[in-house]
Structure 1
Amino acid sequence: MVHETIARVTARIVERSRPAREAYLARVERMASKRPRRGALGCANLAHGFAACGAHDKAELVADVVPNLAIVTAYNDMLSAHQPYERYPDVIRRAAHEAGAVAQVAGGVPAMCDGVTQGRAGMELSLFSRDVIALAASIALSHDMFDAAVMLGICDKIVPGLVIAAQAYGHLPIVFVPGGPMPSGISNDQKSKVRQLYAEGKATRDELLAAESASYHAPGTCTFYGTANSNQMLMEAMGLHLPGASFVNPGTPLREALTVAAAKRALAITALGNEYTPAASVLDERAFVNGVVALHATGGSTNHVIHLVAMARAGGIYLTLEDFDDLSRVVPLLTRVYPNGSADVNHFSAAGGTGFLIGELLKGGLMHPDARTVSGLPLGDYAKEPYLDDGELKFRDAPAASLDEAVLRPIERPFSPDGGLRVLRGNLGQSVIKISAVAPERHVVRAPARVFHAQEEVEAAFRAGELSRDLVCVVRFQGVKAIGMPELHKLTPILASVMAHGHQVALVTDGRMSGASGKVPAAIHLSPEAKAGGPIARIRDGDMITLDAVAGTLDVEVAPEEFAAREPASCDLEPHEHDYGRELFANFRLVATGPELGASSLG
């Protein structure tokens, strides 16, 4: 039985989305009726399409009787998570041949590492890279040579961009293929401590680099529960992965077996067979509600409050912040993975992983068990884990009990009775806050504002000793229309240090913090943003601000008449409009929607 709130919110989304969803599905049906007909292509078109193929594959494609699998890859050497994808096309081609089919790399998409660009100019391109990825993947699939696709992507904006593209090609079966997390390095507590000491001038750069290198040390995703690993959990909860595929380490026999199985499964569900499962049939309203529920239950990345909205809208489904908020109030927090705890995703996986998590949420009626998946099983059968039996991939039931309740809890004994994300509303607009890592005594902060227009200004004030007091740090002109809505991770160790000295501290910003949002209460994605004339542009130093995550409010304590009469602050953004390719994204900044609509330049 599905929980009443889950059913009610889903029904509300269905009704709200009905006109857009019906129009989208009509387009999908139209495309499905024109399914790829390579034999109908002009001879020059087809010759170009298989010119680089071997003789066997050419003969198969000419005959037009076997499926052709598109590989869309985000491989590069810059992202540790994506470096293992270098070998995947060969593995997938072999798997396709074993299945009597063909596979081709249809195209690559860009993939930037937010860990490299944090605090740098490149971070101002990060959010827009999601839209570029969606466009690039759509171009890759536009050759109309393919019956299905596998998407090779993991990290922050890559998976959401690929899902948006999958929605555009909703008539194709599309399976997402993960790469898995790197092995555990030094503990997250150790890494966090060195970062804070460095911010306070008590650790050297060499010591900081040594700690970071011991943490991020091998191929695979970073092991903390940020956006990349939230992506993997979501793809499984939304039915786009095979069961239990998300957190198997790279370079292992089990990882390769899952890749082979994903490729063969994509080929088995094309329109040429009897199990046709187009992406549009998987990515329905139930899938997105399941995704939001899993995000809340794991204290996942706040980036997904933006990304899930954009991903859903690409398929004519309208998610709102109200939906996130209502679901958060009934979904318990079942995990403690850094930054919500000291464990990493390898510890989460060892404790029972996604199989145990999904099983507990299903047991509580908090997910739709009948949601369709690429595996052919309904989500109700996703409480599984993969294993190898004499080299053969098999699936077994996930553990019936958590193997470490410090990391993963049963639904009867959650870490918190409600989810890790909240929506805040008040006279400053609306924002979101991740509270799963915030101590309960810090869920309400009332302090005077200190206003900044850049992370660097906060850093300078901290080094000058100006922040040693209670404060709400307001960092504005960071929104999507201003400078692309970068993540503001440089603020975390600074504000954590101020808080550690006994002060009340909070952050209010129209920028982002992402999955690394930690123990400092942070009202982020504030909308309307300063560039759009939002109330944040009227805040002045000394204004008393109350952030109340319990009541779900965010307010400045200034008389309404006085506040409305204030002239909005201005900011010279010209330095952010050029260099590092930022000038190429001027139109993106101009047309982007607010974060509550997905912060998208794609409409």
Structure 2
Amino acid sequence: MTLHPAIAHVTDRIRARSERSRGDYLDRVAKAAAAGPARAHLGCGNQAHAYAAMDRDKPSLAEGRAPNLGLVTAYNDMLSAHQPYEGYPALIRAAARRAGATAQVAGGVPAMCDGVTQGEPGMELSLFSRDVIALAAGVALSHNCYDAALFLGVCDKIVPGLIIAAATFGHIPAVFVPAGPMTSGLPNEEKARVRNAHAEGKATRAELMAAEMASYHGPGTCTFYGTANTNQMLMEVMGLHLPGASFINPGTPLREALTEAAVTRATQITALGNDFRPVGEILDERAYVNGIVGLMATGGSTNLVLHLPAMARASGVLLDLEDFDDLSQAVPLMAKVYPNGMADVNAFHAAGGLPFLIGQLLDAGLLHPDAKTITGEGLAPYRQEPRLTEGRLSWTDGPAETLNDRILRPAATPFQPTGGLRQLHGNLGRGVIKVSAVAPERHVIQAPVRIFHSQDAVRAAFKAGAFTADTVVVVRFQGPRANGMPELHSLTPTLSVLLDRGLQVALVTDGRMSGASGKVPAAIHVSPEAACGGPLARLRDGDIVRLDAPAGTLTCLAADFDSRAPVIADLSDNAHGIGRELFEAFRRTVGPAETGAAVVV
């Protein structure tokens, strides 16, 4: 199938924009790779330190002829998605020995749960944790003892941080090893109903707690299609997972077999063999375009509009919001998974999942089929799904037709012809809006603004009955420089109730919404942010703002808007408590949202 013209055009534009930075990056990767396997250059004392605790693997490690795999793990018990990783090191070491290799835990990285910190001060560390993860993974790999790296991470900032680190060590191969989603619990629509009822005072806290516990009930990724599961889709579409590995539940024989197979594949693509696949060569402009296409086709998390530019920059590839916008216009929305629909990721997987979706996108010319992957055969193997038969793992052709067209549809007959993510621009700056779950009649709103400097203030105004007419709710001073750019997901029930009351309501913010953001129209990541004197800081209560998603515009209609001086907010409360004081240097040096809100790249 010929590549779609829009895919080719955007890819060529990214390639041209990135020519110098990508060239410099590849030169560094080639220089590091030319030095050969790292352990050959370590002194005997250095190596003895590295192998002292490795017991039966010491002879193989000292000889230095077998691949040594470094594990970077984000295991902790706080994240249900990461709890299964507790037993992975032993499993991986055993699999490595069977493959004639060795494996060591190179280091651990922090991994916070945004579900715990939503609406709390800890959320102000969330985005910055991505850069901390990249730094921590860099420390783990800096021992220079590894012929390939296995990255054990799933959730929101963890995978992007690990990708930044993997790209930085682009001269060695990298395989990402998923843990899978938890089994289905309370349906997402019922959970949302109870949340909205509680916001209106129509459900007790005990009822809310019971609903939440029934929804988040076991090991594995949360089953809605938020940032964590969007990450897993990305790793598969970008060729860093084994085919079909993303959405197999934890604790199953197939999950274990796929983990063992990932280890085997990692041993096969090191510089010690004849199929050397350094990750820096995989993470090129084609991989990132494929990732954005997958994001649009599945209606994935808006957080990836921040993460993908930061990830790409680490491998010398420069992405812009116009790339997301143009690809969104070319790629159909093929999946309806909560919050864009009622199904969860287990139902999506059962309907045909990624093998069907990738196959459809390839046939429509919407993916680069020749992109490099860990499989060595481009994206074609990702049309297949794994099977375990009498203990043997194999891959067979995925379904040629959707098994549930209410959840997953062909590219030719999608839910909507575009991906539902739009770039916004105007005199209020640049931002994005996700409309795949927003009713068409809410894609345009023109109304007076109410200005707030915290989500707590919005909720207090709601409880006081302050919202009685159509309103554009502006929550400013929520960008990376102001307070680390927390998600404002706790506003979703409040604003949803206002929509249910028949009001036209939208959110405009220089902060983030959750990967689970849904039916409320929200202009997010507005840049320049208010704390840097951006246009949001010139808004006043009562100004008329027009948000027009189809036109891609975000405009204040006040005649004197451009001549106003920006408001300066007191941000001292953001500087201390729950670890925030440790991140002052990050707040001072972080880049703008439109380039990824990054500190380390």
Shorter-chain TM-score: what band?
Answer: over 0.9
Partner of residue 292, structure 2:
292
Q: Which amino acid aligns with 1:565?
A: S
> Does residue 546 of structure 2 align to residue 546 of structure 1?
yes
Partner of residue 436, structure 2:
436
Partner of residue 569, structure 2:
571
> Does residue 526 of structure 2 align to residue 526 of structure 1?
yes
Partner of residue 19, structure 1:
20
Partner of residue 49, structure 1:
50
Provide the C-alpha distance between the structure 2 equivalents of 1:23 and 1:37, rounded to a whole number of angstroms.
21
What is the SS of the residue equivalent to 2:515?
helix
Provide the C-alpha distance between the structure 1 equivalents of 2:468 and 2:256, rounded to a whole number of angstroms.
52
Partner of residue 362, structure 1:
362
Provide the C-alpha distance between the structure 1 equivalents of 2:250 and 2:258, rounded to a whole number of angstroms.
11
Partner of residue 267, structure 1:
267
What is the SS of the residue equivalent to 1:514?
coil
Kindly state the Cα deviation for residue 568 of structure 1 after the two structures are TM-superposed. Answer: 1.2
Provide the C-alpha distance between the structure 1 equivalents of 2:360 and 2:70, rounded to a whole number of angstroms.
35
> Does residue 180 of structure 2 align to residue 180 of structure 1?
yes
Map of 1:23-102 to 2, 5 A cutoff? 23-54=24-55, 56-102=56-102
Provide the C-alpha distance between the structure 2 equivalents of 1:389 and 1:189, rounded to a whole number of angstroms.
36
Partner of residue 351, structure 1:
351
Provide the C-alpha distance between the structure 1 equivalents of 2:346 and 2:74, rounded to a whole number of angstroms.
23
Q: Which amino acid aligns with 2:27?
A: A
Q: Which amino acid aligns with 2:99?
A: A
Q: Contact 2:22–2:315 at 8 Å: present in 1 too?
A: yes
Provide the C-alpha distance between the structure 2 equivalents of 1:377 and 1:183, rounded to a whole number of angstroms.
32
Partner of residue 105, structure 1:
105
Kindly state the Cα deviation for residue 39 of structure 1 after the two structures are TM-superposed. Answer: 4.1
Map of 1:232-251 to 2, 5 A cutoff? 232-251=232-251
Deviations 1:189-241 (A, max 9, x none): 10000000111111111000100000000000000000000000000000000
Deviations 1:374-393 (A, max 9, x none): 12221133111111011111
Kindly state the Cα deviation for residue 572 of structure 1 after the two structures are TM-superposed. Answer: 1.2
Partner of residue 377, structure 1:
377
What is the SS of the residue equivalent to 2:506?
strand
Deviations 1:379-419 (A, max 9, x none): 13311111101111100111010000000001111000001
RMSD: 0.8
Kindly state the Cα deviation for residue 33 of structure 1 after the two structures are TM-superposed. Answer: 1.4
Q: Contact 1:530–1:537 at 8 Å: present in 2 too?
A: yes
Q: Contact 1:6–1:366 at 8 Å: present in 2 too?
A: yes
Provide the C-alpha distance between the structure 2 equivalents of 1:252 and 1:430, rounded to a whole number of angstroms.
45
Deviations 1:313-357 (A, max 9, x none): 001100100100011001000000000000000000000000001
What is the SS of the residue equivalent to 1:433?
strand
Kindly state the Cα deviation for residue 481 of structure 1 after the two structures are TM-superposed. Answer: 0.2
Q: Which runs of 5+ in 2 are unaligned?
A: none
Provide the C-alpha distance between the structure 2 equivalents of 1:355 and 1:131, rounded to a whole number of angstroms.
32
Provide the C-alpha distance between the structure 2 equivalents of 1:475 and 1:3, rounded to a whole number of angstroms.
39
Partner of residue 146, structure 1:
146
Provide the C-alpha distance between the structure 1 equivalents of 2:499 and 2:16, rounded to a whole number of angstroms.
45
Deviations 1:453-496 (A, max 9, x none): 00000000000000122000000000000000000011100001
Provide the C-alpha distance between the structure 2 equivalents of 1:376 and 1:340, rounded to a whole number of angstroms.
34
Provide the C-alpha distance between the structure 1 equivalents of 2:315 and 2:260, rounded to a whole number of angstroms.
28
Q: Which amino acid aligns with 2:380?
A: G
Q: Contact 2:92–2:259 at 8 Å: present in 1 too?
A: yes
Q: Which amino acid aligns with 1:577?
A: A
> Does residue 410 of structure 2 align to residue 410 of structure 1?
yes
Q: Which amino acid aligns with 1:88?
A: Y
Q: Contact 1:402–1:410 at 8 Å: present in 2 too?
A: yes
- Output the TM-score relative to the length of structure 1: 0.99
Kindly state the Cα deviation for residue 581 of structure 1 after the two structures are TM-superposed. Answer: 1.2
Partner of residue 201, structure 2:
201
Q: Contact 2:81–2:181 at 8 Å: present in 1 too?
A: yes
Q: Contact 1:538–1:568 at 8 Å: present in 2 too?
A: yes
What is the SS of the residue equivalent to 2:554?
strand
Kindly state the Cα deviation for residue 567 of structure 1 after the two structures are TM-superposed. Answer: 2.4
Provide the C-alpha distance between the structure 2 equivalents of 1:289 and 1:540, rounded to a whole number of angstroms.
39
Q: Which amino acid aligns with 1:483?
A: N
Point out 4+ residue stretches in structure 1 off by more than 4 angstroms.
none
Q: Contact 1:39–1:62 at 8 Å: present in 2 too?
A: no
- Output the TM-score relative to the length of structure 2: 0.99
Partner of residue 256, structure 1:
256
What is the SS of the residue equivalent to 2:330?
coil
Deviations 1:487-527 (A, max 9, x none): 00111000010111011000000000031111000000000
Provide the C-alpha distance between the structure 2 equivalents of 1:472 and 1:70, rounded to a whole number of angstroms.
50
Q: Which amino acid aligns with 1:38?
A: R
Q: Which amino acid aligns with 1:510?
A: D
Map of 1:395-474 to 2, 5 A cutoff? 395-474=395-474
Provide the C-alpha distance between the structure 1 equivalents of 2:403 and 2:327, rounded to a whole number of angstroms.
27
Aligned length: 600
Q: Which amino acid aligns with 1:498?
A: L
Q: Which amino acid aligns with 1:358?
A: I
What is the SS of the residue equivalent to 1:490?
helix
Deviations 1:139-158 (A, max 9, x none): 10010110001000000000
Provide the C-alpha distance between the structure 2 equivalents of 1:230 and 1:456, rounded to a whole number of angstroms.
28
Partner of residue 482, structure 1:
482
Provide the C-alpha distance between the structure 2 equivalents of 1:113 and 1:510, rounded to a whole number of angstroms.
22
Q: Which amino acid aligns with 2:518?
A: G
Deviations 1:90-109 (A, max 9, x none): 11000000011100000000
Provide the C-alpha distance between the structure 2 equivalents of 1:268 and 1:514, rounded to a whole number of angstroms.
38
Provide the C-alpha distance between the structure 1 equivalents of 2:494 and 2:93, rounded to a whole number of angstroms.
49
Q: Contact 1:469–1:498 at 8 Å: present in 2 too?
A: no
Provide the C-alpha distance between the structure 1 equivalents of 2:490 and 2:165, rounded to a whole number of angstroms.
32
Q: Contact 2:37–2:272 at 8 Å: present in 1 too?
A: no
What is the SS of the residue equivalent to 1:515?
coil
Q: Contact 1:35–1:147 at 8 Å: present in 2 too?
A: no
